């Protein structure tokens, strides 16, 4: 069976970033803990999927995605200073959450969810970087196809019923236990 739309795919791979000769391993999926997804459901980068489409179990791959094909160029305008008070919950700031390098779920003025990494914390402001962590990077993938099979109707339904918090349940009993952001 070959990788094509609505197939359940399992991949083992190494993801390295940087320029040839100066690569840094960023992520690894093993045959024991592979990356698993349903092909063609917009859960992966389009250019990533185009490089593995048509491969079968046991076949290998090696390709590079440019920043334009992946997460775009790094954009300095996506570093924003926010008033520290926006991080208050019940009138208090949780200092354990506000530290350099921490990534927090945020929401823009239009209600869009996005992730921001804290660049710095001052007395009254928090500087956040809303670039994707891999923005501006060349992504080098090498790996193999661990498995390809038909996705079940239940797996496809579950994919499209996930809520905003990613808890992946049907919400028959509401969103108890999901955490903030579930709807």
Same domain, 15 and 64: yes
Looking at the fold, whether 67 and 140 belong to one and the same domain comes out as yes
Q: Residue 169: what are its φ and ψ, rounded to 5°?
A: -135, 170
**pLDDT the model gives residue 16:** 97
pLDDT per residue as tens digits for the range 24-83: 999 999 999 999 999 999 999 999 999 999 999 999 999 999 999 999 999 999 999 999
Q: Is the dihedral of CA 91, 95, 96, 97 positive or negative?
A: positive
In a domain, 1, yes or no: no
Domain assignment of residue 100, given as a range: 76-129
Counted domains in the chain = 3
Distance CA 166, CA 21 (A): 37
- Whether residue 36 is contained in a domain is answered as yes
54 within domain boundaries: yes
Q: How far apart are CA 75 and CA 79, in angstroms?
A: 8
pLDDT band at 155; cut points 50, 70, 90: confident
Confidence band for 172, pLDDT divided at 50, 70 and 90: very low
The position carrying tokens 């593995």 is 52
Looking at residue 91, its pLDDT comes to 87
């Amino acid at each position: 069976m070959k990788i094509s739309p609505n197939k359940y795919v399992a991949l083992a791979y190494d993801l390295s970033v940087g320029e040839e000769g100066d690569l840094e391993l960023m992520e690894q999926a093993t045959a024991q803990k592979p990356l698993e997804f349903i092909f063609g459901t917009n859960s992966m980068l389009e250019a990533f999927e185009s490089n593995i489409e048509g491969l079968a179990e046991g076949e290998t791959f090696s390709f590079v995605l440019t920043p334009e094909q992946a997460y775009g160029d790094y954009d300095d305008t996506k570093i924003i200073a926010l008033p520290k008070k926006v991080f208050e919950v019940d009138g208090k700031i949780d200092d354990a959450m506000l530290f350099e390098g921490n990534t927090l779920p945020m929401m823009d003025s239009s209600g869009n969810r996005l992730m921001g990494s804290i660049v710095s914390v001052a007395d009254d402001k928090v500087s956040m970087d809303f670039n994707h962590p891999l923005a501006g990077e060349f992504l080098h993938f090498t790996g193999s196809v661990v498995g390809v099979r038909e996705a079940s109707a239940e797996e496809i339904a579950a994919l499209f019923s996930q809520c905003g918090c990613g808890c992946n349940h049907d919400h028959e009993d509401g969103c108890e236990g999901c955490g903030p952001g579930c709807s």
